[in-house]
Amino acid sequence: MPLLINKDSGLAENLSQELADKALAEKTHEIPLFDPEGNFGSAPLEDVRTLLATGHRQLNPAELKEMYEKGIYRQTGERIKAGAE
């Protein structure tokens, strides 16, 4: 399932392919990327190919997992659950 960045919350979300396609089309989510200096960001789908050609790179599976886990634990309900554990 694709991991995308929610533009409103800034959190990583693991979406089904159908929801990811819809979110990208509606421009509510973006593709996570690192810029040439290693800074994290995101971009709309239509800009990704150009950005990759100019030195940006997509996250590898371990980086995607880390972004997703950080996103989950930033949400209030999940922080409470993590604290209880």
Residue-wise pLDDT for 40-78, tens only, equals 899 999 999 999 999 999 999 898 888 778 766 554 444
Handedness of CA 38, 2, 9, 49 (dihedral sign): positive
Across the chain, mean pLDDT equals: 84
Q: What are phi and psi of 4, to 5 degrees?
A: -125, 160
The predicted model gives 15-19 an average pLDDT of 95
* pLDDT score, position 22: 97
Is residue 42 within 8 A of residue 32, CB to CB? The reply is: yes
pLDDT category, 83, cuts 50, 70, 90? very low
The predicted model gives 5-16 an average pLDDT of 90
Cα separation values, 78 from 4, 13, 73, 83, Å: 19, 14, 5, 8
